[in-house]
Structure 1
């Protein structure tokens, strides 16, 4: 079951897209029944989080005044024209990097100074994602240790 909802935030004409996913839904609903946490649900949520952070996408684009013809809008939001954007996809597992560089960002194009900005965003995003992955791994380790301790104490009680 995939419950992805896309949120787009614009900051300085840079579109940042995040997906509200199964992970967030599971975490939000943890302990919804107030009967205590189910460690299996937590483990599943962490596994989904790890799977969902495989690809990192960064798009830097410059919007231009539009005539608002319906073809330029998707879900009420302006779409960047191919020549006015730099788009990078980084696969964090195998290291593949795909770049699309619009014509306005190369040579003597009007947006060449934004290339360095985009590269800094890619670098910063990769570092943030790496830290997030490490944090998820640590949380998983803590939860597994809690589960082992809980099972061990339950076995001790049942032997008594």
Structure 2
């Protein structure tokens, strides 16, 4: 498996994954904006045997990183691949000298919340009616101390 920059040519595969995973998937134009116009955006794909099986995205503004996407196709879920993406993402934002990493997650997504907590994220606040279906979101944050590195946790 490899983690590689997401390219415009990958978007048809990414859109299929979005449709598989989300009730309100991003459209191709959303990804195009991120890849071509947003100077703060970074997107990567997880590839296994030349097939895109996951992807992640984040923004870096000054010393803060915000995760926008972290997704694994259903056939590969439960194999700790989200952890691999999170570990890679954290290494990248540390290299950019970010001091914190944040994300929003649906309060109903207990599996993701558990993974993020295992990766060192803490629930900071509740964002009421955050999603278009009025579901709340947790804002989760991980402070990135210079001597605090992402550890390999066997329990994930």
Higher strand share: 2
Choose 1 or 2 for highest CA Rg. Answer: 1
Asked whether the two chains share a fold, i.e. TM above 0.5, the reply is no
TM-score, normalising length: structure 1: 0.33
TM-score, normalising length: structure 2: 0.33
